[in-house]
Amino acid sequence: MSAVTHRAELEALEVELLIEGVRRQYGFDLRNHSRPLLLRRLRRHLREERLDTFSALQGRVLHDPEALEGLLRALACPPDTLFSDPAFFQAFRTRVVPMLRTYPSIRVWHAGCSSGEDTYALAILLMEEGLWGRCRLYASDASEGLLADARNGVLRLPGEEDARNYREAGGQRALTDYYTRDGDWAVLHPTLRESIFFTQHNLATDASFNEFQVILCRDTLLAYNRSLASRAHERLYESLVRFGFLGLGRKESVARTPYARAYEELEGTGRVFRRTG
């Protein structure tokens, strides 16, 4: 066996032990996370912590809850920008909003809101379409740290590209109408922040907490492997009313989940599915 192969096998063993340690000590179960993604983030975290081996990281994490917090933060995807996927919001505006207009009240759940960029983009869209008055927007994430960021409503200052994305998404005003500049940061207006219900919820472990007419869960399930993603889809399915809308990421689908037959894709929307069964 070559030295490199030996090192690779040792690393694989150390990763297993780290995952097992985190699970038994803190109850965070990373076993069913997407393994290639997990490996990449763990390796980057290791470099940033200037540690040589996962065994060393394991020692630190087991003895120091703050090191665990750092690890979990490193596993989260860094924030996107407002309207980072304009095509989705554009399709939502033209295809879903007209149907939502016929509803007397609308409950919306953004599952896996991370630090809130897409949540705020959605809130802006619903306001511009005159639906905000009858909407209740819930946004959840498994990480308390990210939720705290989302609640703060302070984002990196949008640049020209963000303004362009906003217009491409069908934005009707100026993006600057929605925030106050504070140096390199944008503080979103309180009307936006205060009417979103941010709540801690882990798609991997927590039960459904309400019924919704619209659920967004975009690129969140990339972090899970197939079996865990299927379980998360069970949560989403249970939480969506019949004929409700499910918005997934541009390269996600219900096709490989047990609920493939329960949804119809809205044509030309990228990835908005309607629950029909």
Partner 1 sequence: MSLLGLLVVGAPQGASAEVEALLASLPPRLPVPVLLAVHRGPQELLAGSLARRCPLPVLEPDDKDELVAGRVYLAPAGYHLLVDRSGVCLSREPAEHGQRPAMDPLFESAADAYGPAVAGLLFSGHEDGWAGLSNLSSRGGRVAVMGEGDPVEGVERVPLKDVKDWLVRLSYVPRMKVQP
Report the interface residues with partner 1, using CB under 8 A.
2, 4-5, 8, 34-37, 39-41, 77-78, 80, 219, 221-222, 225-226, 229, 249-253, 255-256
Nearer to partner 1, 34 or 199 (CB): 34
CB of 164 to partner 1, least distance (A): 11
Nearer to partner 1, 192 or 266 (CB): 266
Nearer to partner 1, 126 or 155 (CB): 155
Nearer to partner 1, 5 or 105 (CB): 5
Going across the sheet that includes 272-275, the strands are: 196-200, 135-141, 106-111, 212-217, 240-248, 272-275, 263-265
Amino acid sitting at position 204: A
Question: Residue 97 corresponds to which tokens in the numbers above?
Answer: 């909003």
CB of 120 to partner 1, least distance (A): 18
CB of 103 to partner 1, least distance (A): 30
Nearer to partner 1, 162 or 252 (CB): 252
- CB neighbour burial string for 70-96, b if at least 16 within 10 angstroms, e if fewer: bbbeebbeebbbbbbbbebbbbbbebb
Contacts of 265 (CB under 8 A, 6+ apart): 271, 272, 273, 274
CB of 213 to partner 1, least distance (A): 25
Nearer to partner 1, 34 or 53 (CB): 34
CB of 73 to partner 1, least distance (A): 14
CA–CA dist 108, 148 (Å, integer): 20
SS3 state at 1: coil
- Decide the pairing of beta strands 179-182 and 240-248: unpaired
Residue that has been written with the tokens 């997407």 in this structure? 34
CA–CA dist 217, 236 (Å, integer): 9
CB of 220 to partner 1, least distance (A): 10
